[in-house]
Amino acid sequence: MSPWLPILMAVPVVGAIVVALLPKGSDKLAKQVALLVSLLVLVLTGVVAAGFKPSGERFQFVAEYNWIPSFGVKFGVGVDGVALVLIALSAVLVPIVILASWHDADGVKTADGTLITPKRSVKTYFSLLLVLEAMMIGVFAATDIFLFYVFFEAMLIPMYFMIGSYGGAQRSYAAVKFLLYSLFGGLLMLVAVIGLYFVAGKQTFMFPELVGAIQDPVTQKWLFAGFFIAFAIKAPLWPVHTWLPDAAAQAPAGAAVLLVGVLDKVGTFGMLRFCLELFPDAAKAFTMPIVVLAVISIIYGAIVAIGQTDMKRLIAYTSISHFGFIVLGVFAMSSVAQSGAALYMVNHGFATGALFLAAGFLIARRGSPFIADYGGVQKVAPLLAGFFLVAGLAGLSLPGLSSFVSEFMVMIGTYSSQAHGSGALTVAAIISAVAVILAAVYILWMVQRTMNGPTAEPVKAFKDLNAREVWVLAPLVALIIGFGFFPKPLLDVINPSVQQTLTNVKVPTSTIAEKGTGQ
């Protein structure tokens, strides 16, 4: 029993309560407390990460408490490599987001005085952020499937309020769409969770004990479908992706980062952890249809992104393309592709986070999300333009930046995977490679139209990034470049747990041996 993970979850909850209970008018204090709490969580996460032994047991920092004995539910937490890096991702992003959203609830005004968002309750916003952080840590740390489900659904509520109360003009439509889509998927998963419990007949929801518990292939398929639909909506995969562009475009930039950067990863994380390991036969049986959906997502997301006029929607569509890559990597059933997919989850969080935040700073200066309203920003705000470019290049997976490593691993792993007969996955990899070109189009075109060219009249009044904004973007860019050249620390943590997944899925070991560890 290790108390670390429960502490990690409790700290933001306590912080949220403190922030919510601060007296009226202490907005500044609320922000400072929230930032401090999130930094404390980051430090604690660092301690946990330092104590994690990649070569040790699969689940470390395990803690189990009886929660609802009548249902056989335990408060069971523990992390493997993939869960650990995703928790670390959340812990890194939250303080950055807090810093980035410093003035979001104050009522954002542009340089020429137009009001983008009216003033809202500052305390509520930061308190919701901290609650969300606790739930993000909980959802990745849960080893009890029921507990996972509870966090999976409960984390919708703070995000719902963040979009609905603090978002753009269409916020309530976007918030409701987001909530209903996710809730519907979640409820189907609930049926599968209950079914898993009774069919397995083990009187427990603990994941390690349920691996391999379902043998009947037909039952596996039904339960797999319940889980997979929920995760596909969350991830989001074509054709259930339509909520994401609305939600991400209407959410305040900070919330959009957490939504796309972390919340959606729960979907791909769930596929890797639960869909594959609990229902290996079904996963293999459904590989081809899912790969087809993933390839469609990759191409479709990229093409639609090119056509967007709204920056935040554009970034959301690029994410749909990237999530396609992650899903492709997960279901390619080779260790290189799966390690690449897990790595992609982290890198995408940093890259898209940076891009959303840079776009957010740009939008805050002009009050318009439309690309056409900008031009020539580079001349008046070179720092902003520089960060925007680097973040954009990470989004198109330029070699030397972190996303390149993961995207390359996914494609190589898929190309050479023998999991589903020879050639089928190779074709998928070749088709998805087209997206690399499309990515260059959507990113570079956006950069060109906003940053270069003649300076538009309202843009001339832009101020360059202030110190706070630099502090927001600099760490992300440092991480993007750092992990671009040196991804080994992440891969060392990810690889053993991916190997474990493949062993549980019973992919022929030759496939694993041939490909090495992908470094």
Partner 1 sequence: MNPAIEAPTIEYGTLAPLLIIFGAACIGVLVEAFAPRYLRKSIHVPLTLLSLAGAFALVLVQTVRGQISTTASAMGAVAVDGPSLFIWGVILVLSFVCVLLINDEGHFVASAAAVPGSADEEEAEAHDNGTGHTEVYPLVLFAVGGMLLFPAAHDLLMMFVALEVMSLPLYLLCGLARRRRLLSQEASMKYFLLGAFSSAFFLYGTAMIYGFAGTVSLPGINKALASGNTLDPLLLIGFALLGVGLLFKIGAAPFQAWKPDVYQGAPTPITALMASGTLVAAVGAVLRVFWVGLGNLDWEWRPVIWGVAALTMIVGSILAITQTEIKRMLAYSSIAHAGFLLVGVMATYGSAQQNAGSLKAILFYLAVYGITTVGAFAVLTLVRDPGGEAGHLSRWAGLGKRAPVLSGVFAFFLLAFAGIPLTSGFFGKYAVFAAALNSGTQPGDSMGGWMAGLVVVGVVASAIAAFFYVRVIVLMFFSEPAADGPAIAAPSMGTVAVIAVSLLVTVGVGLYPESVLGVANDAASSLFIR
Residues that bind partner 1 (CB under 8 A): 67-71, 121, 149-151, 153-154, 156-157, 160-161, 164-165, 171-172, 175-176, 179-180, 183-184, 187-188, 190-191, 194-195, 197-199
1: exposed, middle or buried (Cβ count in 10 Å: 0-12, 13-18, 19+): exposed
Closest approach of partner 1 to the CB of residue 133, in Å: 16
Rounded distance between C-alpha atoms, residue 103 and residue 456, angstroms = 25
Closest approach of partner 1 to the CB of residue 222, in Å: 8
Closest approach of partner 1 to the CB of residue 58, in Å: 26
Closest approach of partner 1 to the CB of residue 159, in Å: 12
Q: Which of residues 205 and 323 has its CB atom nearest to partner 1 in the complex?
A: 205
209: exposed, middle or buried (Cβ count in 10 Å: 0-12, 13-18, 19+): middle
Q: Which of residues 107 and 508 has its CB atom nearest to partner 1 in the complex?
A: 107
Closest approach of partner 1 to the CB of residue 75, in Å: 10
Q: Which of residues 74 and 241 has its CB atom nearest to partner 1 in the complex?
A: 74
Q: Which of residues 71 and 486 has its CB atom nearest to partner 1 in the complex?
A: 71
* CA distances from residue 87 to 81, 337, 411 in whole angstroms, order as listed: 10, 21, 25
Give the pair of three-digit tokens for residue 296. 């469609």
Rounded distance between C-alpha atoms, residue 237 and residue 402, angstroms = 23
Amino acid at 499: Q
Residues 518, 490 contacting (CB under 8 angstroms): no
Closest approach of partner 1 to the CB of residue 239, in Å: 18
Closest approach of partner 1 to the CB of residue 253, in Å: 19
Collapsed DSSP state (helix, strand, coil) of residue 18: helix
Q: Which of residues 42 and 183 has its CB atom nearest to partner 1 in the complex?
A: 183
Peptide bond preceding 487 in cis form (omega within 30 of 0): no
Write phi, then psi, for 247 (nearest 5 degrees).
-65, -45
Peptide bond preceding 289 in cis form (omega within 30 of 0): no
Residues 164, 172 contacting (CB under 8 angstroms): yes
Among the listed residues 10, 106, 3, 107, the one whose alpha carbon sits nearest the alpha carbon of residue 48: 3
Among the listed residues 211, 320, 198, 184, the one whose alpha carbon sits nearest the alpha carbon of residue 275: 211
118: exposed, middle or buried (Cβ count in 10 Å: 0-12, 13-18, 19+): exposed
Neighbours of 17 (CB within 10 A): 12
Q: Which of residues 36 and 68 has its CB atom nearest to partner 1 in the complex?
A: 68
Closest approach of partner 1 to the CB of residue 5, in Å: 18
Q: Which of residues 171 and 322 has its CB atom nearest to partner 1 in the complex?
A: 171
Q: Which of residues 228 and 317 has its CB atom nearest to partner 1 in the complex?
A: 228
List Cβ neighbours of 56 (8 Å cut-off, separation of 6 or more). Answer: none
Rounded distance between C-alpha atoms, residue 246 and residue 485, angstroms = 34
Give the pair of three-digit tokens for residue 257. 């980062």
Q: Which of residues 80 and 246 has its CB atom nearest to partner 1 in the complex?
A: 246
List Cβ neighbours of 45 (8 Å cut-off, separation of 6 or more). Answer: 8, 87, 88, 91
- Chain centroid to Cα 355, Å, comes to 14
Q: Which of residues 138 and 392 has its CB atom nearest to partner 1 in the complex?
A: 138
Closest approach of partner 1 to the CB of residue 45, in Å: 23
Closest approach of partner 1 to the CB of residue 116, in Å: 16
Neighbours of 508 (CB within 10 A): 11
DSSP-derived letter for residue 70 is: G
Closest approach of partner 1 to the CB of residue 154, in Å: 4
Q: Which of residues 43 and 187 has its CB atom nearest to partner 1 in the complex?
A: 187
Neighbours of 363 (CB within 10 A): 22
CA dihedral 130→191→501→334, nearest 10 degrees, is -100
* CA distances from residue 397 to 168, 248, 406 in whole angstroms, order as listed: 30, 21, 9
Q: Which of residues 134 and 326 has its CB atom nearest to partner 1 in the complex?
A: 134
Closest approach of partner 1 to the CB of residue 302, in Å: 31
Closest approach of partner 1 to the CB of residue 408, in Å: 39
Q: Which of residues 126 and 374 has its CB atom nearest to partner 1 in the complex?
A: 126
